[in-house]
Chain A
Amino acid sequence: MSTLTLLYDPECGLCRRVQGWLAEQPKLLELKMIPIKTDAARRRYPQLNHELTAEDLTVISDQGAVYFGPKAWLMVLWSLSRYHEWSYRLASPELLPTTRRVVSLVSQHRYQISHAVGLSR
């Protein structure tokens, strides 16, 4: 695995902010960002359910492995040299349920959060 593709929501301020932060992080893998439900995304992944990608972050490896939601976030952490170890810690059986809850909560309320912290569109 050498590249991860992130399908991100360009409509949400928080996601854009995170994307900017990701761009500056030292990486172990290459990260590609494609906005969701665009022609580029549909061309690259013709058989993917693109409606689903609007609900939570989707990460796809260069071999076509799809990670959705909390797993996608763990994969993003895994690709960053500084948080590589944390991805294993957060994916451990003890912490995974909490990780899932927190990530789902943030994802579902991303527009409200963006708005609340002044990152709205």
Chain B
Amino acid sequence: MTIEIATYLLYLAISIALTVWVAHTLHKSGRIFLVDVFHGNEPLADSVNHLLVVGFYLINLGYVSLALKLGYNIATAKEGIEALSVKVGTVLLVLGGMHFFNLFIFSRMRRRANMRNAPPPVYPDAFTPVQEV
């Protein structure tokens, strides 16, 4: 096995493992948020959670796959590790970006859901008896 092939395989292994780990974290911790957003409707929360994680996997694995190609030759192990580090570093940044984007979506959904139960935006000017007819 040449150093190049080894670098590619290591890159894939590390990137996929990282993606699975972040997706798992998102799935586990996001559920609590979503259950709250959907007022305890757990089947709906699980469904939305699952859909979000699928999208997360698709985008990240798509990026990992597209960024695989190195574009230059590697001769030594040192070069291999350097190339690997650049690739994995980019994947980590993309994962981080995606993760914060998901957190943003969760918090926005939650804020919107809480707004439904919030009191009116203004105080009344007066009170008057109501005569129901």
Residues on A lying within 8 angstroms of B by beta carbon are 1, 28, 40, 43-48, 60-68, 71, 74-75, 78, 84-85, 87-88, 90-91
Contact = CB atoms under 8 A, between A and B. Distances in A.
A45 B128 contact: yes
B129 interface: yes
A60 B125 contact: no
B116 A66 contact: no
B130 interface: yes
Interface of A is mostly: mixed
Q: How large is the interface on B (under 10, 10 to 19, 20 to 34, 35 or more residues)?
A: 10 to 19
A82 B128 CA distance: 29
B72 interface: no
Contacts of B66: none
A121 B10 CA distance: 78
Nearest to A92: B121
Contacts, number: 65
Given A28-B116, A84-B115, A85-B112, A75 B122 contact: yes
Contacts of B130: 44-45, 60, 62-64
A85 B21 CA distance: 36
A64 B39 CA distance: 29
Contacts of B128: 45, 47-48, 60, 64, 66
B71 interface: no
A78 B121 contact: yes
B131 interface: yes
B115 A64 contact: no
